[in-house]
Amino acid sequence: MLIKALRIGLGQLIIFLDFISRPRKQKRTAAAQAVVEQAAADMALYQFHACPFCVKTRRTLHKLNAPVSLRDAKNDAQHRQALLEQGGKIKVPCLRIEENGQSTWLYESKAIIAYLNQRFAGI
């Protein structure tokens, strides 16, 4: 019981610290932002809200101004099942990328952040 309360408290602290220290969004022209939004529409981030690695990944999405849809794999049974069946394991963060009719599931926050920076930072 005490451990669970501690985990919940730490999770809320992580979320609060993320909120007050969130980086600024990248500024783009309207045309460039439309390109980013089109590319981001084919992605989804499966995550737990208070996971530190997920927070790190969401901060990068915010900084890059890339509106990737977020999927709660902890509280939403449908998203959790999709992560398990299609991604192969319940591990977050996980970025699902739809390209040419195929899904790629990218795990590990460092790999996801590197991919997002490579894909969106130069636009």
- Superfamily holding 33-120: Glutaredoxin (3.40.30.10)
pLDDT in tens, 96-120: 999 998 999 999 999 999 999 999 9
Is residue 86 scored above 90 in pLDDT? yes
pLDDT in tens, 28-79: 999 999 999 999 999 999 999 999 999 999 999 999 999 999 999 999 999 9
Q: How many helices (H) and strands (E) does the chain have?
A: 5, 4
Query: H or E element: which one contains 92?
Result: none
pLDDT value for 2 = 85
Spatial distance between the Cα atoms of 63 and 121, rounded to a whole number of angstroms: 9
Average pLDDT over residues 72-98: 96
Spatial distance between the Cα atoms of 98 and 86, rounded to a whole number of angstroms: 12
Q: Where are the domains of the chain?
A: 33-120
pLDDT value for 84 = 96
